[in-house]
Amino acid sequence: MAEVKILLKGYFKWIEKNKCKASSTITLIRDENKNILFDTGNIGEEEKLIKALKKENLTPEDIDIVINSHSHPDHIGCNHLFKRALFINSESTFRGDEFTLRKGSYEVTKNVKLIPTPGHTDECCSALVKTQKGLIVVVGDLFWSSQDSRLAFVKNEKLLKKSRAKIIKVADYIVPGHAGMFEVIKG
């Protein structure tokens, strides 16, 4: 079974009308001797991320795979730290300048599966992670927090609602894009 740990809890806050500060939740997934990061936060978060990795006895060179939920800067800002990692998003896998295009779900490891969850953007994806605790789904901005009922910053409201329903149906826990993990209460 895989292990999931939030390295840095994301945030989002308005500082003026039409101006905000944000960085994504950065999640470490360990499975099959692979160190996987889901999202890498915003540019300027490098030092915090390196310190968080160090607490797990890791360096950027120890990261095997980086999953990007989507390409907004608050989710990919520290990608440049992971020079040897395989990068995975909803449409491709890539390392350096070599890309493999694909569509649909993708098995990252035996216990980690990437699925498309469009709505916030067309390219959004989530990771379904089988753990001892149950199924943890790391969702990027499909949900921003446990209290997220907003439909702001949504490209396609209908797809977002459909993707959310799909995740709520299967998840025991959700790691949202800008907050800590929460339990899904069924019924």
Dump pLDDT digits (tens) for 40-49. 999 999 999 9
Q: What is the mean pLDDT of the chain?
A: 95
The rounded distance, in Å, linking the Cα atoms of 63 and 57 is 11
The rounded distance, in Å, linking the Cα atoms of 65 and 93 is 10
| CATH number for the segment(s) 3-183 | 3.60.15.10
pTM given for the model: 0.95
b/e per residue 133-167 (b: at least 16 CB within 10 A) = eebbbbbbbbbbbeebeeeeeeeeeebbeebbebb
